[in-house]
Chains A and B, each alone.
Chain A
Amino acid sequence: MIYFDSAATTLQKPEAVSRAVAGAIQSMTTPGRGDYPAARRAAELMLRCRTEAAELFGVPEPDNVILTSNATHGLNIAIKSLVSPGDTVVISGYEHNAVTRPLRAVGGVSARIVNGRLFDPEQMAEGFRKAVDGSVKAAVCTHVSNVFGYALPIDEIAAVCRERGVPLIVDASQSAGILPVNLQKWGAAYVAMPGHKGLYGPQGTGLLLCGEGQPRPLLEGGTGSLSRQQEMPDFLPDRLEAGTQNVHGAAGLLEGLRFVRRQGLGRIAGHEAALIRQLAEGLRRKGTYHVYDGGDSPVLSVIPRQTDPESAADLLARQGVAVRAGLHCAPLAHQTAGTAETGTMRFSASVFNTPEEVDHVLSLL
C-alpha cells in the first residue's frame, strides 16, 4: 500500500517506536504508585519524554509538558480552562472540530471567526489584529490547516495576542514534528499536539504544553500525590494527569520525538513539501483536478472535476493508495475556503514517502 494519509495518522513509524512500546509493555508499570523497579522505570521514561519534548518545543519546565491522549484532549483542557459561558473568543476560519466543538460545549460562547483567503497569511494576520481586543477571553488558532496545509501566520498572531494580553491556544496537530513549534517564543497559554501524526508516536498519545496560569482539570482522580486532599493537586503535571497514564504509548512517543530530532525539522518539512509539490504539479498538468496548493506544505487537497472526492478516494484505495476524502472533521475550514459543498480529497505525506510513490499515484489518477 502507498500511504498518503499522514495528516490523520502516520502509518509507517520508526522501528525504534515499535520496539520501545513492546519493551515498555514487558517492563514498565505506572509511575507515582509503587516504588519497585518496574514503576521506577516508568517514572524515568515519563520524565525523559517530558524533558525531551520540552527541549524540542520551547517549554521552560518539563513539568509543563502534559501527556494527553491526543490533540483533542489537550485542546479540551486548554479551552475549558480559559473559556467560560458568555465569553468572546477569536478563532481562525480554518479550525478543526477539536476546537469548535469544545467551544460549543462550553455554551454561550461568542466566536469571532477570522475568515481569511487560503494561503494569504497577511490577510489572516490583519484579521487577528482587528478581531483581538480587550473584550476577548482567548484566541485559538491552528498552526497548519489539516485540510489545506495552509500554514497560518502564527508568529504574527502570537505577537498580537501577547501585545493585547489575550491568552493564545495553538493547535499544532499538523505542524508538530514538521515546523518549529515553540511555546515560549509564542508566549502561548497552551499548545496542543497529537503524538501519532508528525511525531511518529502511537495512537492514544499527545502533548499539551502549558504556559503560565492554572489549568482546569478535565478529569479528576488519583495522581499518586497528595492523596489525603480531595481537590486535584495545584501543580503540574499531576493536576492534569488523573488516573493511570499511557506509559507504553509514551515510550513510543519518546522514540518518535528522538526520530524527529535526528532527522531535523528542516529536512522533514523540505522532503514532504517537495513530494506535495510534485503531486500538485502533476495533477495540474492533468487538468482534471482543482488543486489547492500553498507551495510548501505536507498536505494537498484537491477536488476532482469529473467525480466526487469520495469516489476518487475509493478508486485509489482499491488500487492500493490510501488517501482521505470528505470534510476532514473541519467543516469550518471548508466553509471558509468555499469547498463545503463537496469536501476534498486530501493527500498528506510523511518522511517515509518517496517521489516514486508520487509518480505511481499520478499514473493512477
Chain B
Amino acid sequence: MPYYLLLSRSITHAQRMSRALEQAGITARFFRAPMGLTDRGCSYAVRINANARQAARARLQEVGLQPMRVFYDGGDGAFSEATL
C-alpha cells in the first residue's frame, strides 16, 4: 500500500506529529527512519497512508508541526522525496 514517511528532527517531534495525527483520526505510527533517508544520522519518521496526505497536511499545519522532509513509497519499496 502506498504511504508517506514524514521525517522528524527528534523522537519528541515524531511523537508529537504522530499524536496530533492520531487525534485527528489519521492512522500514524512513528519509528526509526531508515538511515538511507537521513543525511545527518539517526532520526525518526511518521508513517501515514498515502490517501491521508491532505488531511495530514491540514492537521499538521493546524498544530504548527512540520516534517523536516517527506518521502513517498508507491508500494514498490523505493522512496522518492515528496511534499505533503
Contacts and interface: CB of A to CB of B under 8 A. Distances in A.
A225 B9 contact: yes
A209 to B, nearest CB: 15
B10 A238 contact: yes
Given A224-B42, A226-B42, A227-B42, A62 B16 contact: yes
Interface residues of B, number: 16
A35 B41 contact: no
Contacts of B52: none
Given A35-B31, A35-B32, A47 B41 contact: no
A258 interface: no
B31 A226 contact: no
A63 to B, nearest CB: 6
B13 interface: yes
A233 B43 CA distance: 12
Interface residues of A, number: 21
A44 interface: yes
A141 B42 CA distance: 39
A225 B11 contact: yes
A228 B19 CA distance: 27
B27 to A, nearest CB: 17
A127 B39 CA distance: 52
B11 A226 contact: no
Given A227-B42, A235-B10, A47 B31 contact: no
A50 B12 contact: yes
B10 A225 contact: yes
B9 A233 contact: yes
A225 B7 CA distance: 12
A237 interface: yes
Contact of A229 (B13, B32, B41): B41
Contacts of B32: 35
B15 interface: yes
Nearest to A60: B64
Interface of A: 31-32, 35, 43-44, 46-47, 50, 62-63, 223-229, 233, 235, 237-238
Given A47-B12, A63-B10, A235-B10, 16 more contacts: A47-B16, A47-B19, A63-B12, A63-B16, A224-B11, A224-B42, A225-B10, A225-B43, A226-B40, A227-B42, A228-B39, A228-B40, A228-B41, A233-B10, A237-B12, A238-B9
